[in-house]
């Protein structure tokens, strides 16, 4: 019995080396396409993360920011983002207050995150 267990333990790794069953070409093609799609999606997510990280410490230019970028600012909704975009060009970010797009309190929440170039 003990010898059988020892032999089984010695032969188990060899089973992993046994030839695998051949995949048919259509199945291999589909698996390759699926892996490529996953890689492409992952690469896009990494690129977006790098882009976000790169810009994280840089103030957002309200004169060139996209609506999506403006919407990521605290307190900025669709209506305010549209007003910011319609009011361009801005000579300074504080104009958002003087031109009644934001209140002073709302502006103070984002003033360190924006600029007007």
pLDDT tens sequence across 32-72: 888 888 878 777 777 776 666 655 678 999 999 999 999 99
Distance of alpha carbon 112 from alpha carbon 110, whole angstroms: 6
**Given a cut of 70, is residue 13 above it in pLDDT?**
no
**Given a cut of 60, is residue 11 above it in pLDDT?**
no
Would you give the DSSP letter of residue 100?
T
pTM of the model: 0.54
Phi, psi of 61 (to 5 degrees): -80, 115
pLDDT digits (tens, 9 = 90+) for 79-92: 999 999 999 999 99
**Given a cut of 80, is residue 25 above it in pLDDT?**
yes
**Given a cut of 60, is residue 78 above it in pLDDT?**
yes
- CATH class of the domain at 60-115: mainly alpha
Q: Write down the pLDDT at residue 70.
A: 96
Q: Write down the pLDDT at residue 109.
A: 94
Spell out the domain ranges in the chain. Answer: 60-115
């Amino acid at each position: 019995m003990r010898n059988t267990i020892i032999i089984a333990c010695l032969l188990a790794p060899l089973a992993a080396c046994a030839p695998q069953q051949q995949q048919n070409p259509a199945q291999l093609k589909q698996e390759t396409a699926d892996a490529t799609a996953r890689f492409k999606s992952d690469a896009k997510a990494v690129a977006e993360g790098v882009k976000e990280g790169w810009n994280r410490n840089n103030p957002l230019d309200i004169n060139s920011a996209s609506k999506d970028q403006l919407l990521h600012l605290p307190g900025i909704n669709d209506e305010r983002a549209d007003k910011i975009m319609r009011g361009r060009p801005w000579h300074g970010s504080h104009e958002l207050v003087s031109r009644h797009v934001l209140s002073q309190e709302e502006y103070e929440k984002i003033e360190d995150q924006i600029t007007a170039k």
